[in-house]
Amino acid sequence: MAFGLHNSKRKYEYLLEDKDVQRWFDNVARGSLITATVYFRRLGSYCESHKTDPKRLLGHSNSELKKLLLDLVSELEKKKYAGSYVGSNVKALKSWFSHNDIEVSGRIRISGESEAPTLREEKSPDQSELHSVFLAATLQQRSADIIIAHCGFRLETLGDFEGDDGLVISDFPEMELKKGRAIFSKVPTMVVVRPNLSKAGHQYFSFLTSEGCEYVKQYLESRIRSGEKLGPASAIITPKYSFRENKFITTNNIGDLMRTSIRKAGLRVRPYVLRCYFDTQSLIAESKGLLAGDYRKFFMGHKGSIEARYTVNKHRLPDELIEDMREKYRAAAEQFLQTIESGKRQTDQLAGMREQLLFSVEYSDNHS
C-alpha cells in the first residue's frame, strides 16, 4: 500500500489510506495531536527506509519485533542520532504494535534517552537579557514573549498545534476593553488557561506582571486603532496574515515569532527557554521564601495540591487564597521576573520604550 501524508484542507489533519492506521492516529491524537503526528512520521519513515508497511510489521512474532526494535536502536545509534530521537522512534513503533494488541516484552535500552545534547549548553536568560529581548521585539512578539516568561505557560497556550484555539480576551477576566483601551482592574492580573489549552487537560491560571500588562495593553490597543474589532472571543496573539476565519496562531508560528525577537537580541536559545526563565526565577524566589512551591507548580500547569483543590471545586478557589497567590506572585515578580523596576522608574522606562517603538513604526512607514 502507499503510505504517506496527504495534506487535507486543514493543516496537520491527514487522510490515511489504511483505516487501521487512521484509527491508531486518531486514538493517539485524543491524548496529544503533536505526539500522534510525530509517531505517525516515525512509523512512516521506518516503513519507507525498511521497505515495508505498517500491516506487514504486524505479521512478525513478538520475539522478531523485539529484534527489529533492537536493530533499529543500533542502526540509529551508529548514525549518531541523539538518544531522545532514538527513543521516539521506538515509542512510535511500540505504540503501533500496542494498538494492535501486540506487547513487546523486555526492556529496550537506549543510551542517553533522557538527554538532549543540543540543549546542554543552553541556559535561561537573566533579567537584563530578557529585557534586551523585549527591546528587540515588535508589539506582537513582545506580548508573546512576556506571557510565556512571566506567566510560565507553554507556547501552545497562545496558539494550539493546528491554530484552532489559543488564549482569548475572556481568558483575562480582570481586563476590560473600553473605548479603545485595555483596562486592568487588578495587577498582577489573572490569566486563565482553559482545559483544551492545557497539556495535562486541566484548567489552571497564573498572573501577569505590571510590565506584561503594559505590553499586552499596547498590542491590543494598536490592533483596535488599526480597525480590528475585539471581543471576548478574540485571540490575544493573532498571526500577521491569516486566510482563516478564526485567526488563531499555530504553536509553530508562535515559536517562530518569539525566536525572531530572541535572535535580534543576540541570544541563541529556543523560545521554550522563556518558560524556563519563569521556572528558574520562581525557584529562586521560592528559595528566598517569597513564593510557595505549590503556587509555582500550579502557575506552570503542573498537577499538585492546589490543582486538585481547584479542579474538585469546579475551578473556584476561596478569594483569600487567590489574593494570597496574587500577593506572593507580586513579591516574587518584582524582584525576579520583571525586567524593569516598579513605580516611577517603571513608568519612565515604559514611556521611553513606547517612544522608541513609535519612532521605529514611523520610520518603517516612511521608508517602506
Least confident of 2-16, 220-234, 295-309: 2-16
Better-scored residue on pLDDT, 282 or 53: 282
Contact by Cβ (8 Å): 87, 111: no
Domain membership of residue 318 (yes or no) is yes
CA atoms 239, 194, 169, 351: torsion sign: negative
Q: Which of 61, 86, 119 is the last residue of a domain?
A: 119
Same-domain pairing of 184 and 225: yes
The confidence score (pLDDT) of residue 345 equals: 43
Contact by Cβ (8 Å): 207, 151: yes
Residue 197 has what DSSP assignment? G
Domain enclosing residue 187, as ranges: 127-366
Same-domain pairing of 107 and 198: no
The confidence score (pLDDT) of residue 251 equals: 92
Domain membership of residue 229 (yes or no) is yes
| Residue 157 to residue 161: CA distance in whole angstroms | 10
Domain membership of residue 206 (yes or no) is yes
| Residue 363 to residue 368: CA distance in whole angstroms | 8
The confidence score (pLDDT) of residue 195 equals: 94
Same-domain pairing of 309 and 326: yes
Better-scored residue on pLDDT, 7 or 222: 222
Q: Is the pLDDT of residue 333 over 70?
A: yes
190 beta partners: 207
CATH no. for residue 324?
Answer: 1.10.443.10
The confidence score (pLDDT) of residue 37 equals: 85
- What dihedral angle (degrees, nearest 10) is formed by the CA atoms of 18, 21, 26, 31? -170
Domain count, the chain: 2
Domain membership of residue 182 (yes or no) is yes
Q: Is the pLDDT of residue 312 over 50?
A: yes
Mean pLDDT of 149-166: 94
Pick the closest to residue 153 from 328, 282, 66 (CA basis).
282
Pick the closest to residue 320 from 328, 312, 311, 308 (CA basis).
328
The confidence score (pLDDT) of residue 121 equals: 61
Residues above pLDDT 70, as percent of the chain: 85
The confidence score (pLDDT) of residue 232 equals: 96
The confidence score (pLDDT) of residue 6 equals: 34
Mean pLDDT of 26-54: 88
Same-domain pairing of 209 and 71: no
The confidence score (pLDDT) of residue 181 equals: 97
H-helix or E-strand spanning residue 19: helix 19-29
The confidence score (pLDDT) of residue 116 equals: 59
Same-domain pairing of 111 and 141: no
Mean pLDDT of 27-54: 88
Least confident of 146-155, 295-304, 337-346: 337-346
Domain membership of residue 2 (yes or no) is no
Tens digits of residue pLDDT in 60-79: 999 999 999 999 999 999 99
Same-domain pairing of 329 and 260: yes
The confidence score (pLDDT) of residue 344 equals: 42
| Residue 203 to residue 193: CA distance in whole angstroms | 6
Same-domain pairing of 65 and 184: no
Mean pLDDT of 314-342: 94
Same-domain pairing of 215 and 97: no
H-helix or E-strand spanning residue 182: strand 181-184
The confidence score (pLDDT) of residue 247 equals: 80
Q: Is the pLDDT of residue 15 over 70?
A: no
Least confident of 37-46, 161-170, 230-239, 347-356: 347-356
CA atoms 42, 153, 261, 234: torsion sign: positive
H-helix or E-strand spanning residue 37: helix 33-49
Domain membership of residue 271 (yes or no) is yes
Q: Phi and psi of 250, rounded to 5°?
A: -85, 160
Q: Which of 69, 99, 119 is the last residue of a domain?
A: 119
Q: Is the pLDDT of residue 352 over 70?
A: no
Same-domain pairing of 36 and 142: no
The confidence score (pLDDT) of residue 254 equals: 95
Better-scored residue on pLDDT, 29 or 354: 29
Contact by Cβ (8 Å): 193, 155: no
Mean pLDDT of 288-317: 94
Q: Phi and psi of 59, rounded to 5°?
A: -80, -5
Looking at the chain, the number of H-run helices and the number of E-run strands are 14, 4
pLDDT interval class at 161 (50, 70, 90): confident
The confidence score (pLDDT) of residue 179 equals: 94
Same-domain pairing of 84 and 210: no
Q: Which of 103, 119, 135 is the last residue of a domain?
A: 119
Same-domain pairing of 30 and 167: no
Tens digits of residue pLDDT in 102-156: 999 888 999 887 765 555 567 899 999 999 999 999 999 999 999 999 999 999 9
The confidence score (pLDDT) of residue 97 equals: 96
Mean pLDDT of 189-215: 95
* DSSP codes of every residue in 133-178: HHHHS-HHHHHHHHHHHHH---GGGTS-TTSS---BGGG-TTEEEE
Domain membership of residue 139 (yes or no) is yes
Same-domain pairing of 156 and 111: no
Domain membership of residue 14 (yes or no) is no
